[in-house]
Every structure is written in C-alpha cells, then in structure tokens.
Amino acid sequence: MPLFSCMKPYKILSVVGARPQFIKAAPLSKAIAASDNLTEVLVHTGQHYDYALSQQFFDELGLPTPQYNLEIGSGRHAYQMGQILIKLDAVLEKEKPDMVVVFGDTNSTAAAAITAAKNNIPLAHVEAGLREWNKRIPEEINKMLTDAVTDLYFPPTQTGVDNLKKQGVTEGVYLVGDIGMDLIINNLDKIERHKNLLEKLSITEGSYFFMTCHRAGNTDDVGQLEQILSIFDTIKEPIIFPIHPRTKNTIEKHGLQHYLEKKNVVVLEPIGFWDTQVLIQNAKMVLTDSGGVIKEAYFHRVPCLILQKEIEWIEAVREGWAKLVGSQSSDILSGIRSFERPTVWSGFLGDGRTATRIVNIISHYLKNIDQ
C-alpha cells in the first residue's frame, strides 16, 4: 500500500515510556521514516529507565534515539503523571507538533494524552478501545483517560471497536490490527537466529514453562505473589522466569527467595524482545499477567494461562489458546492439568501491515484538517 503523499511535512510527536510501548513504537517509527510527508519527534518519558527494560529494546528493535528523555523514573502513579504533564508541556510548546501519538495503557500514555489535549493538539491512540472493565486496575484508568481525549482511535481488534461504540465513540475509529505483530511477522528470521538460547539454558522445545509476572495487582500483594510462586513446589518441568524489577523487589523485601531456589526454576534478568519470542515460541505453556506476552503466545500458538481474572485480549480466550486462572496456586495448577490444546486459530491480531495503515490514516487526517 503506497503511503499518502502531500506537500507539507507534518510533525508527529510519539511518546513512549515503557517496554510494551517500545515494541509498538518501533514499527511505527519505521513507517513514518519511510513516508514522504511525516517526520517524527520521539519522546521517552523515562518511566522505564533500567537498561534491560529500556535501552536494550531501543538497541535491538532499531528505535531511533529519542530527541527528548524526560527522566521521570519510578514513583507513585500521581507523581509520575504529574511530572510528565509538566515536562512534556514544555516539549510541546517548543516543538509544536501536528499530532501526538501514544501507545497502550501506561502512566506515560495517559499523561501524554492529557497534555496533548490541554494544548489542543490532535491525539492518536495506538491500541485504543481495549478494556478490562475494572477500575481497580491502574492500566484500566489509563485506557479510559486516554480514550476520553483521543481524536484518532486505532483499536487492534474488533472487540476494541465494539468497546468504543458502547461508550458512544464511533468517529475516528479505525480497525488496524495489532502493531506489535508487525515486529514478529516481519522479523521471523531474527527470532530463528536467537534460537541457540535454548541450548544455552539447557532446555529443549516443548519441555518447559515460560513465566512472567509484573502487574501491580500480583506484585504489590505479597500473599497473591506467594500464591503464584508456590506453584514452583509442584511443577517438575523447567520454569524459565525472567524477573521484573518490581517483582524482584517484592520477593526480596518479604523473604520469598526460597521459591526461586528450586532446581527446576531458571531466573533470568529482564531479557530482550527476540530472546523472549524464542522462549515463548518453544515453551510447553506460558504463564503470565502481561498483555503483550499473551498476544505473543497466541501468535506462536502456545497455550497460555493468564494470572489475572480480567483480560483485554478476549479473542485468545474465546478460541481456547488462553485461559483466565487468576493468582491462586490451586487454580493455576488445575489450569495446567486441564488445558486442552484448541483446534481453531483465526490470527485475529493482524497481518504485519498495521504501521503502514496507521501512517496512511494520520497523513490523510492531517491533510484534511489543514485545508
């Protein structure tokens, strides 16, 4: 599909701050660079500042160096968002972009959306319309705040479109597919080149569990986290567990390290995108509370147990590739024992051309409002 062409170069200011956003931003930055009427200013809020969660992804995904790093760091939700509002406002005043683009559902997403709206700058939301319908989940609040001020909505699935319609939003909504799949579908060779990781970890295809756990609901509640970790006492197969800094801190603070000392548990520091794909692709089963990992497991057709009771990617649950089990150890173990591999796989996440669609739509939108 050819990119839309016009005379005026429009400035797109993209805001990222956390690992899932780097994954979504990489294909879009590439598509913007390939267009003949858009330029990009990339802003990193610094919400994720650890090398393994930030710079490592910029390096391996080929993301351009951000023109701005707001260096927000960690902190309470209101503090993070307040700092982004203040610092990003100054950037918008200086750059005067034609559109702000935000991704997903982090504090960086919501704060950037509000800042754009307060500056009367059109806003595009990549991954709009997803809902868990539970306001106790921080990400759900961010989704609702962002979609309340968005101009161009880019839901990845029909469910996202339907959710927006339920809330009275039908204008500016475009079903484009999941932009994270662009990276995987268009780089299968890179995943294959990282497959020697299995040998390094002394594991074989289909013989191990891959697990991640980082959501605040699971890591801030020590009892809930201990329920999840206690499955290590029962599972005999190798468990590959890249550990998030938040999870690691809770484990150390509350003396739960003994769960990680089981012979079959392989604890890794946060790993890169391609290594993550290798470990998901070749796992017997995935256990996770990460929306991104759920999607990736679905793409690779690997069974997935979701360590939550709510999920945005309900299509994966409907088709049987993912199952909601929550955080109770008995429910997780029951889910492992009773899981039956499905026979249906619709590939609902997209075809690897989402970024190009988004760039075309943005170009057309900006030309129209400029007339």
| Cα gap 249→171, rounded to integer Å | 44
Q: CA quadruple 341, 342, 346, 349: dihedral positive or negative?
A: negative
- Three-class secondary structure of residue 79 per DSSP: helix
Q: Give me the catalytic one of 44, 214, 244, 300.
A: 214
Residue 48 and residue 71 in contact, taking contact as beta carbons nearer than 8 Å:
no
Residue-wise burial string across 270-300, b where 16 or more C-beta atoms lie within 10 A, e elsewhere: bbbbbbbbbbbbbbbbbbbbbbbbbbbbbbb
**300 included as an active-site residue:** no
Look up residue 203 and give its two tokens.
Answer: 């594991």
Secondary structure in 3-state letters for 321-368: CEEECCCCHHHHHHHHHHCCCCCCCCCCCCCCCHHHHHHHHHHHHHHH
Rounded alpha-carbon distances, angstroms, from residue 56 to 24, 243, 275, 355 = 15, 16, 12, 22
Kindly list the catalytic residues.
214
